Structure 1
Amino acid sequence: MSENGLEFLQKQTVRTLALGQILGGFGLGSTLSIGALLAADLSGSVAWSGAAATFSTLGTATWAIPLSRLAFARGRRVALALGAALAISGAALVITAASVRFFPLLLVALFLLGAGSAASLQARFAATDIPTDRKVGKDLSLVVWATTIGAVTGPNLFGPGEVVGNFLGLPELTGPFVFTIAAQMLATSVFWFGLRPDPLLVAKQIASDKLQAKPKVSLASAFATLKQYPVAAYAIVSIALSHMVMVSVMSMTPVHVTSHGGSLVVVGFVISLHILGMYAFAPLFGILSDKIGPVKTIVIAQLIFVSALLIAGFGAETQNLVTLGLFLLGLGWSAATVSGSALLATSVPVDQKTNVQGLSDSMMNLSGASGGAIAGTLVALYSFTGLSLMALVPVVVIVTISLLVRNYRAKQTRTASIENLPVPE
């Protein structure tokens, strides 16, 4: 395929992925908060409300790896369409679980819904498959940015969802899942028909002379690849720890705000601004990553985290400062995720890309689940301020590793320059 042909295919791929992200985010965004309410209702205990997010996150972490393997074998088109299709099954199963009032079935349904989130995460990497002169960070960030529309709109579908649910005679709280089914059906069609030719299969064909005859696609081979390409390992660690920082503080913010007299409307406003920070400015960080490099952008992300945690922590008694802190927290996450993903996408060979990308998405979600799990205990023991200050620990770790990676890459560059010098006579 000619350079012009690749350029056209890349633009078409990014447009398709962006549309799929809008639909996917629109469908899944409406389920996250409602899942907790359903869990409390069907289980009969508020203590089980957190299980909704837990099983959804575990589903995302679990599905990320098999979907990435499927992408390598059959292409992004098949993997992303299957992820969206599994989310349809999950949403339908949620309605079924509510109808028969069977709590374990709800947990299975939320686990299936996690496949939709796994597909959404994989989509950003699909924007980097085709080798062109276009900037990796910019294309990847545009796909992340497209999530903004669905992520911000989705949580506000409770009212319209209830109207639809009542019209269809569905159980209480399940109406919004009708939107999920419709949106994911459209997303499935967009991925299936829009990703032709498949960007990953085209990339593999171009690099066919460099590929192993039978490349190994497994967890063991993924870790072996990271050992061989330490910069890729750094990218995964940066993404995972940054996600842990964000989730741990964000997950406890609604509890903190309401315990200080804030209404649910205030909580919704704070979280909406946080989500805006997460996605709306992604293109800015994509361009920055292309211009100054992903490692420097990751460090900038950590500096944003520091300001966010200090403002939210020491301003814990002031609603405006907590709101500002949460916005900056989302901004830091965006910078770290976009630049870390761009670095990972360009750090390993084509035949191992999907393998390590799946591992990255899995580690990212497991880290987030761990952060959310321990956040409640830390707040109970040390307050919201204590949690915010302790969240600085992963930030310090990332900055330290970033400095080591910078020195490592500088040494590699010097070595390569010396090896390319003409031999003196």
Structure 2
Amino acid sequence: MTSTAPATPPGIRDADGTVPAQRRVLRVLVAAQVLSGAGLAAGVTVGGLLAQDMLGSTGLAGLPSALFTTGSALAAVTVGRISQRGGRRPGLAAGYLTGAVGSAGVIVAAVLDHPVLLFLALFVYGAGSATNLQARYAGADLATPDRRARAVSTVLVATTLGGVAGPNLAAPTGTFAETLGIPHLAGPFLLSGVAYALAALVLAVWLRPDPLLLARELAADAVPPEKPTASDAKAAPAPRDAGVVVGALVMILTQLVMVAVMTMTPIHMHDHGHGTAATGLVIALHIAAMYLPSPLTGWLVDRYGRLAMAAASGVTLLAAGVVAALAPADSVGPLALALALLGLGWNLGLVAGTAIITDAVPLANRARTQGLVDVSIALAGATGGMASGIVVAAAGYPVLALTGGVLALAVLPAVAVTAYRR
């Protein structure tokens, strides 16, 4: 990848309103997301199992998920503030580099068999997860309102390649780790550390021009301010204040339900005799469903509206909960289907919610607000991760899955009220 200047000045729009620099921005973000997807997925696959092995307790197996999602909350607001001041490039690069440091800490903790260090490292590791999500906003900075959801989806779908590869490399990286004297379950964090560090490098070197800074320049140069077009009006779902609340609520609920069920599925499978390879396959399908449908989801959100797809996310998550609750514990197929539906429901909610938030927040404080919204999302994930182990220990995996599906339906009244007020 070279840094040659574009033939057209980056601030000049094409006839259809597209900024030429947007194409370069998306290419760089795609490359970074492929790498970060591997870093994210590898750790998710074995984090709970590593804690269970070190602590000897299923009840605390959800703690790693809670810790790295809590860490991602702190990282989200930090990345948002850095981006607000200096642009997306320094914010995203710093977030991924922090995730790489956390991955290294997990490996050291596993070698030393030190649970406290493990939990601290997982907290730092969460920065990679937060940054992976924050990158979607960078894809939308230069997009026109009627193409924002598709720009978000382009960034999200890039995570698929690394996200699917990561879990399936859990077994071989574990074997490789053992040759280095590292515990088998810590092996995937070797992949996470390298992947996050490379993602940081790609962004630091090649994310030029910075999409957020260029978007501000374009907005400042727009004299008089651009009049909204018919397609712009169709894309915007609600007044600004309502848009922030509804967009955040959609993403908070989908994150809480997804993290809770996803966190305990590897533990559930392990407790019923499934090996690392089977667990990796199920998680890989789940992550593929989280990101692979993104181009279609983005088109649907831009075509049929943010609120309609937000409602669809709640219904899809209910279906995921029902299938997971009814799936035989000794059968991989139904669990794989349930986790695929879980990922799809999350994808619908994230793309729709992100588009709602981006429509609602002005450029002047966009990055800061997006960071604060992602803090709420991360805290919801932390709550889901922590509660999931407790619920499974007390009532079982089927109860957790069904409860999550029913909770996701809370999206529907929020969408209905917002649609009524329009």
TM range, smaller chain: 0.7 to 0.9
Query: Residue 196 of structure 2 is aligned with which of 165, 179, 184?
Result: 184
Q: Give the distance between the partners of 1:373 and 1:262, measured in 2 at CA.
A: 23
8 A Cα contact 1:295 1:339, kept in partner: yes
8 A Cα contact 1:3 1:132, kept in partner: no
Partner of 1:344: 357
CA, structure 1 residues 254+174, in 2 after alignment: closer, same or farther (shift >3 Å)?
A: closer
Range with bigger deviation, 47-56 or 169-178: 169-178
Q: Return the offset for 1:134.
A: 6.4
Q: Give the distance between the partners of 1:182 and 1:67, measured in 2 at CA.
A: 20
SS of residue matched to 1:7: coil
CA, structure 1 residues 385+22, in 2 after alignment: closer, same or farther (shift >3 Å)?
A: same
Q: Give the distance between the partners of 1:127 and 1:88, measured in 2 at CA.
A: 23
8 A Cα contact 1:316 1:385, kept in partner: no
RMSD: 2.8
Q: Return the offset for 1:304.
A: 1.8
Q: Return the offset for 1:334.
A: 0.9
Partner of 1:222: none
Range with bigger deviation, 128-137 or 286-295: 128-137
Alignment of 1:76-91 (within 5 A): 76-91=88-103
Q: Give the distance between the partners of 1:46 and 1:336, measured in 2 at CA.
A: 30
SS of residue matched to 2:208: coil
Range with bigger deviation, 387-396 or 377-386: 377-386
Q: Return the offset for 1:401.
A: 0.8
Q: TM-score normalized by structure 1?
A: 0.83
Partner of 2:13: 3
Give the letter for the 2:347 counterpart.
S
**Runs of at least 5 residues in structure 2 that lack an aligned partner in the other structure:** 1-10, 223-237
Rg larger in 1 or in 2? 1
SS of residue matched to 2:409: helix
The percent of aligned pairs where both chains have the same amino acid is 36
Give the letter for the 2:384 counterpart.
G
8 A Cα contact 1:379 1:386, kept in partner: yes
8 A Cα contact 1:135 1:290, kept in partner: yes
Q: Give the distance between the partners of 1:57 and 1:328, measured in 2 at CA.
A: 22
CA, structure 1 residues 197+359, in 2 after alignment: closer, same or farther (shift >3 Å)?
A: same
Is 1:119 matched with 2:109? no
8 A Cα contact 2:260 2:381, kept in partner: yes
Partner of 1:215: none
Alignment of 1:35-184 (within 5 A): 35-40=47-52, 42-43=54-55, 48-132=60-144, 135-162=147-174, 164-166=176-178, 168=180, 170=182, 173-184=185-196
8 A Cα contact 1:64 1:115, kept in partner: yes
Is 1:288 matched with 2:291? no
Partner of 2:337: 324
Give the letter for the 2:115 counterpart.
F
Is 1:364 matched with 2:377? yes
Count of residues paired in the alignment: 394
Structure with more relative contact order (C-alpha pairs < 8 Å, separation 6 or more): 2
Partner of 1:239: 251
Q: Return the offset for 1:124.
A: 0.4
Alignment of 1:189-200 (within 5 A): 189-200=201-212
Range with bigger deviation, 393-402 or 312-321: 312-321
**Runs of at least 5 residues in structure 1 that lack an aligned partner in the other structure:** 211-225, 410-425
Q: TM-score normalized by structure 2?
A: 0.84
Q: Give the distance between the partners of 2:200 and 2:271, measured in 1 at CA.
A: 41
Partner of 2:38: 26
8 A Cα contact 2:58 2:393, kept in partner: no
CA, structure 1 residues 150+201, in 2 after alignment: closer, same or farther (shift >3 Å)?
A: same
Partner of 1:373: 386
